[in-house]
Amino acid sequence: MDRPERRVVRELVGAHGRTYAEEAGIGLRDTPQPLYRLLVLSHLLSARIRGSIALAAARALHEAGLRDPRRMARASWQERVDALGRGGYRRYDERTATQLGDAAELLTERWGGDLRRLRREADGKVPELRRLLQEFPGIGPAGADIFLREAQGVWPEAAPYLDAKALQGAERLNLPGDPERLTELAGDTDPAVLAAALVRAAVDKEVAQDTLRRAG
């Protein structure tokens, strides 16, 4: 017999199981450029701004050619501001343009432009990964959580990474607050997909209400 909680998870993932990286056009792999683009996306999503605007800004930066740390660092401040503006990211564009340049320089100088080196420095320890990510200007606790939620599919030592925001979505759906139990309910669903779906339920009450209605 299909358990109610399992039905809720199945309906949620079926309708909203798309990572934010995928929505931003990032084919996430454990290689330097996709990981860098995810870092930028995490930075943009962590601001107090609509997710759709952050996603549009991430795509605009990519279209402007600012898709790796060396190009981001070499670009002028105005070029970064203009790209963010084309994505609608205007409220925080000037500060964010500065932070993106500084973060790109740090990544290039300390880790050779390759976030896999940061991963190796953390030596499989998730709290250390989270701490190191927060050394980038503009990446605070929320940005580090976003990065690890999305990266857990390619950095499996982080899985299951269901942070406070994902667990807030679980609470809205009357689901357990234990990450291990949630991943068990999700079966073979990629934990990054589960995390993204739960976050969508957390940030949009209609997602949660519609999921519960369809799960019956």
Question: Is 50 exceeded by the pLDDT of residue 1?
Answer: no
In eight-state DSSP terms, residue 64 is: T
Determine the 3-state secondary structure of 155 from DSSP. Answer: coil
For 43-81, how does the pLDDT look when each residue is reduced to its tens digit (9 = 90+)?
999 998 899 999 999 999 999 999 999 999 999 999 999
Percent of the residues in the chain that have a pLDDT greater than 70, as a whole number? 99
For 128-170, how does the pLDDT look when each residue is reduced to its tens digit (9 = 90+)?
999 999 999 999 999 999 999 999 999 999 999 999 999 999 9
Q: What is the mean pLDDT of residues 178-200?
A: 96
Provide the pLDDT for residue 93. Answer: 87
Question: How sure is the predictor about 203, in pLDDT bands with cuts at 50, 70 and 90?
Answer: very high
| 73, 77, 85 from 146: Cα distances, Å | 23, 25, 22
Cβ–Cβ < 8 Å for 149, 166: yes
Within 10 A of 169 (CB to CB), how many other CB atoms are there? 27
Cβ–Cβ < 8 Å for 68, 34: no
Provide the pLDDT for residue 92. Answer: 83
Q: What angle do CA 122, 62, 146 make, to 5 degrees?
A: 40
Provide the pLDDT for residue 3. Answer: 83
Interatomic CA distance for residues 128 and 140, integer angstroms: 14
Provide the pLDDT for residue 25. Answer: 95
Average pLDDT score, the chain: 95
> Measuring CA to CA, which residue among 80, 62, 82, 65 is closest to residue 21?
62
Question: How sure is the predictor about 90, in pLDDT bands with cuts at 50, 70 and 90?
Answer: confident
Provide the pLDDT for residue 48. Answer: 86
